[in-house]
Chain A
Amino acid sequence: MNPDPETVDPIITESDFQKFREFFYRKTGIQFDSSKRYFVDKRLVERIAATGTGSFRGYFMLLRFQVNGDELQALTNLMTVNETYFFREEYQFQCLVGSLLPEIVARKTDRRPIRIWVMPSSSGEEPYSIAIYLLERWVGIHHWDVEIIASDIDTRILAQARQGLYSQRSVQYLPPDYLKRYFKRRAEGYQISDDLRQSVEFTRVNLSERADTRNYRDFDVIFCRNLLIYFDDVSRKTATETFYDALLPGGFICLGHSESMSRSSSLYKVRKFTNAIVYQRPLETP
Chain B
Amino acid sequence: MALIKTQPTPESVTEEVRRHPRDCAGLLAQLTDPDPTVRRWAARDLADCPDISPVLVERLHQEADVSVREVIVTTLTGLGDAAAVAGLVECLRSEDAALRNEAIEAMRQLPDAVAPIMRGLLADPDPDVRIFAVNILESFCYPEVEAWLIAVIDHDPHVNVCATAVDLLGEIGTLAARESLLRLKARFANEPYIRFAADLALERLCES
Residues of A within 8 A of B (CB): 113, 131, 134-135, 141-149, 162, 195-204, 210, 214-216, 233-234, 237-238, 241, 244-245, 265-267, 285-286
Contacts and interface: CB of A to CB of B under 8 A. Distances in A.
B4 A245 contact: no
Contacts of A237: 70, 74, 77
Contacts of A162: 8
Contacts, number: 88
Given A210-B45, A241-B74, A285-B66, 20 more contacts: A113-B4, A131-B3, A134-B3, A141-B1, A141-B3, A146-B4, A147-B4, A149-B13, A196-B3, A202-B8, A210-B44, A215-B13, A233-B105, A238-B74, A241-B70, A266-B66, A266-B98, A285-B67, A286-B66, A286-B67
Chain B contact residues (Cβ within 8 angstroms of A): what range?
Answer: 20 to 34
Contacts of A203: 11-13
A30 B193 CA distance: 42
B203 interface: no
B71 interface: yes
A131 B7 CA distance: 16
7 contacts: A134-B3, A145-B3, A199-B5, A201-B13, A233-B108, A241-B44, A245-B37
Interface string B1-42: 111111110011111100000000000000000001100110
B174 interface: no
A204 B11 contact: yes
Interface string B69-82: 01100100110000
B65 interface: yes
